[in-house]
Amino acid sequence: MEAEDLAAALVGLPVFAGLNERELGRVVEAARRRELDKDDTLFEQGDPPEAFFLLLSGRLKVGQVTPEGRHVIVRYIGPREMAGCVAVCGGLSYPGTAVAVEDSWVLAWSRMAVARLTERYPIIALNVMRIMGSRMQELQQRLREMQTERVERRIAHALARLAGQAGRRSESGVEIDFPLSRQDLAEMTGTTLHTVSRTLSAWEGQGILDLGRQRVTIVKPHAVVAIAGDLGDAA
């Protein structure tokens, strides 16, 4: 990919909204490109934040490990999304570990480059502020779900969110477009892989889902939304 193409890829991104083409070119020049193979680690929980990333292609999984060794998935990051922004915004370390769940390409700006860019183009700081605001709303919503909702609903919510982020229309419905295990879903929703397995199996029995190894296809999206929403059953 050439520099011009990269700049083109940045057009329309909320982070760089308000910059013209030439300015985008400058921004791209300050970045390094980096390729990640599946299962490669981009940054590790606790590391000093050296860079801020933008995902060009592929998909990342950001997770945390508790002192007791329990794994939690904070979020998945798709193409044209940022990663590492929390840490670079003044954090002392990355709060989580980012791993590629597919082969991926990222753009990386060093901490210094970020400082220079935000100084030169203050609008970037405003854009980041806006994006972090919406991420905080998202986090607050998940926190509320965790506090008030049953496991079944939380799983439905997670599936609905994933379908929105990474859903691909297939012949039988909407397929989550990256390898997603029962364990992953459990770590997203604060439950166990057993409960996830049971729940998904039940839904498959009702024709709502089509399941495979590390693969979920939503056959009846409306049913999933209904479960996530407020209806207890959705036959």
Partner DNA sequence: CGGAGTTTTGAAGGACGTCAACATCTGTGG
Partner DNA sequence: CCACAGATGTTGACGTCCTTCAAAACTCCG
> What is the distance of C-alpha 134 from the center of its chain?
13
Out of 151, 225, 226, 234, which residue is the one contacting DNA (CB under 7 A)? Answer: 151
| Of residues 104-143, those binding a second copy (CB under 8 A) | 118, 122, 125-126, 128-137, 139-140, 142-143
Nearest to 43 by CA among 109, 104, 96: 96
Region from 11-19, 51-59, 159-167, 194-202 binding DNA, contact rule CB under 7 A? 194-202
Out of 61, 142, 161, 182, which residue is the one contacting DNA (CB under 7 A)? Answer: 182
10 Å Cβ neighbour count for 222?
11
Using CB under 8 A as the binding rule, whether residue 1 contacts a second copy is answered as: no
Q: Which residues lie closer than 8 Å to 132 by C-beta, 6 or more apart? A: 85, 86, 89
Using CB under 7 A as the binding rule, whether residue 181 contacts DNA is answered as: yes
Shortest CB 16 distance to a second copy, Å:
15
Q: Which amino acid is at 187?
A: E
Using CB under 8 A as the binding rule, whether residue 233 contacts a second copy is answered as: no
Give me 42's structure tokens: 């981009």
d(CA 222, CA 29): 45
Region from 4-12, 86-94, 127-135, 193-201 binding DNA, contact rule CB under 7 A? 193-201
- β-partners of residue 34 are 106
Shortest CB 56 distance to DNA, Å:
24
